[in-house]
Amino acid sequence: MKKISVLFVCLGNICRSPAAEAIFINLLERKGLKDGFIVDSAGTGSWHIGKKADSRMRLAAERRDLNILSRARQITKEDFKEFNYIIAMDDSNFRNIQDLKSRTASTDFASIKKIQDFRSVFNEQEVPDPYFGGDEGFDYVLDILEDSVKGFLESIF
Ligand code: 4NP
């Protein structure tokens, strides 16, 4: 059977989208669904290409037994062909993804969504950018994403 492919996208690909990717993979593993999925993350920006996720986010994730292993990359036009779902962390990411898609071939099929459209516990309409804030912001991002990533998986089935 063809795998379902999901790309999580934020600005830098070192805080929010790598966290969403790790949380989603962990959820799939716990539900025995991992083999049916391809999961990745990317940034709309290019500043951090090749870098590990921000150490503050990796530490916050490790405290929850989540390993963030990804290396930052920038979203490309090919991603619209490769992925079934492209999931933005905030409205600005969503707009930038739509802009890029509008400049690609019409055969591209990815469904572009915002992760907070799948929230149930937290009321945030966007995943706040923790990069310039304190350590507590990273924990809050993980709390928010654990809720909405679960909602996203439920929406697929
Ligand atoms: P992210 O956070 O989009 O969640 O990875 C950011 C990381 C880096 C920057 C901004 C946001 N930056 O300006 O370098």
Q: SS3 letters for 9-54?
A: EECCCCCHHHHHHHHHHHHHHHCCCHHHEEEEEEECCCCCCCCECC
Kindly state if the Cβ of 11 falls inside 6 Å of ligand 1. yes
| Domains and their CATH numbers in the chain | 4-156 (3.40.50.2300)
Residues with catalytic annotation?
A: 10, 16, 129
Q: What is the pTM of this model?
A: 0.98
Instruction: Decide the pairing of beta strands 85-88 and 37-43.
Output: unpaired
Measured by CA distance, the residue closest to atom 14 of ligand 1 is 12
pLDDT tens for each residue of 64-74: 999 999 999 99
Measured by CA distance, the residue closest to atom 13 of ligand 1 is 12
The pLDDT tens digits along the chain (157 residues) read: 899 999 999 999 999 999 999 999 999 999 999 999 999 999 999 999 999 999 999 999 999 999 999 999 999 999 999 999 999 999 999 999 999 999 987 666 899 999 999 999 999 999 999 999 999 999 999 999 999 999 999 999 8
pLDDT tens for each residue of 107-142: 668 999 999 999 999 999 999 999 999 999 999 999
Residue 80 half-sphere exposure, CB side, CA atoms within 13 Å?
16
